[in-house]
Protein backbone atom coordinates (compact mmCIF):
# COMPACT_ATOMS: atom_id res chain seq x y z
CA UNK A 1 0.00 0.00 0.00
CA UNK A 2 2.88 2.36 0.78
CA UNK A 3 4.33 1.90 -2.71
CA UNK A 4 1.01 2.80 -4.31
CA UNK A 5 0.71 5.99 -2.26
CA UNK A 6 4.27 6.98 -3.17
CA UNK A 7 3.58 6.32 -6.85
CA UNK A 8 0.44 8.46 -6.77
CA UNK A 9 2.33 11.28 -5.05
CA UNK A 10 5.06 11.15 -7.68
CA UNK A 11 2.48 11.20 -10.49
CA UNK A 12 0.86 14.26 -8.93
CA UNK A 13 4.30 15.88 -8.66
CA UNK A 14 4.88 15.17 -12.35
CA UNK A 15 1.58 16.83 -13.27
CA UNK A 16 2.41 19.87 -11.13
CA UNK A 17 5.80 20.12 -12.81
CA UNK A 18 4.21 19.76 -16.24
CA UNK A 19 1.70 22.53 -15.71
CA UNK A 20 4.20 24.81 -14.00
CA UNK A 21 6.46 24.41 -17.03
CA UNK A 22 3.55 25.26 -19.30
CA UNK A 23 2.75 28.32 -17.19
CA UNK A 24 6.37 29.49 -17.20
CA UNK A 25 6.61 28.96 -20.95
CA UNK A 26 3.46 30.98 -21.58
CA UNK A 27 4.36 33.75 -19.15
CA UNK A 28 8.13 34.16 -19.62
CA UNK A 29 8.67 32.89 -23.14
CA UNK A 30 12.41 32.50 -23.80
CA UNK A 31 13.48 35.08 -21.24
CA UNK A 32 13.68 32.77 -18.24
CA UNK A 33 15.16 29.38 -17.40
CA UNK A 34 12.18 28.39 -15.24
CA UNK A 35 10.76 26.23 -18.02
CA UNK A 36 14.05 24.35 -18.22
CA UNK A 37 14.03 23.81 -14.46
CA UNK A 38 10.46 22.48 -14.61
CA UNK A 39 11.49 20.05 -17.35
CA UNK A 40 14.53 18.96 -15.35
CA UNK A 41 12.36 18.39 -12.30
CA UNK A 42 9.87 16.33 -14.33
CA UNK A 43 12.61 14.13 -15.77
CA UNK A 44 14.13 13.63 -12.33
CA UNK A 45 10.74 12.68 -10.91
CA UNK A 46 10.26 10.20 -13.75
CA UNK A 47 13.63 8.54 -13.09
CA UNK A 48 12.89 8.21 -9.37
CA UNK A 49 9.40 6.87 -10.13
CA UNK A 50 10.84 4.30 -12.53
CA UNK A 51 13.30 3.12 -9.87
CA UNK A 52 10.51 2.89 -7.29
CA UNK A 53 8.40 0.82 -9.70
CA UNK A 54 11.34 -1.48 -10.47
CA UNK A 55 12.09 -2.00 -6.78
CA UNK A 56 8.42 -2.59 -6.04
CA UNK A 57 8.09 -5.25 -8.73
CA UNK A 58 11.42 -6.87 -7.77
CA UNK A 59 10.51 -7.12 -4.08
CA UNK A 60 6.96 -8.24 -4.79
CA UNK A 61 5.32 -5.19 -3.18
CA UNK A 62 3.74 -4.44 -6.55
CA UNK A 63 2.56 -7.21 -8.81
CA UNK A 64 1.85 -6.52 -12.47
CA UNK A 65 -1.60 -7.58 -13.59
CA UNK A 66 -2.45 -8.69 -17.09
CA UNK A 67 -5.79 -7.23 -18.00
CA UNK A 68 -5.38 -8.61 -21.51
CA UNK A 69 -3.85 -12.04 -21.32
CA UNK A 70 -1.57 -13.24 -24.10
CA UNK A 71 -2.54 -16.35 -26.03
CA UNK A 72 -0.05 -18.59 -24.21
CA UNK A 73 -1.54 -17.57 -20.84
CA UNK A 74 -5.05 -18.33 -22.05
CA UNK A 75 -3.94 -21.76 -23.25
CA UNK A 76 -2.28 -22.51 -19.90
CA UNK A 77 -5.41 -21.51 -18.04
CA UNK A 78 -7.59 -23.69 -20.26
CA UNK A 79 -5.25 -26.65 -19.79
CA UNK A 80 -5.29 -26.22 -16.03
CA UNK A 81 -9.08 -26.03 -15.84
CA UNK A 82 -9.54 -28.99 -18.18
CA UNK A 83 -7.13 -31.14 -16.15
CA UNK A 84 -9.06 -30.37 -12.95
CA UNK A 85 -12.40 -31.50 -14.39
CA UNK A 86 -12.88 -35.26 -14.66
CA UNK A 87 -13.47 -36.49 -18.18
CA UNK A 88 -16.61 -38.34 -19.22
CA UNK A 89 -14.68 -41.57 -19.77
CA UNK A 90 -13.52 -41.70 -16.16
CA UNK A 91 -17.05 -41.25 -14.86
CA UNK A 92 -18.50 -44.14 -16.93
DSSP per-residue letters across 40-72: HHHHHHHHHHHHHHHHHHHHTSS----SS--HH
Q: pLDDT tens, position by position, for the chain (92 residues)?
A: 888 899 999 999 999 999 998 998 898 877 788 888 989 999 999 999 999 999 988 888 888 776 666 677 677 777 777 766 555 555 55
The residue extents of the domains of the chain are 2-67
Amino acid sequence: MLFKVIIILFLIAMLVSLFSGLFFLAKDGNKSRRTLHALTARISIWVVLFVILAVGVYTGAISPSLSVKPDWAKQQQQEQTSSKQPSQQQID
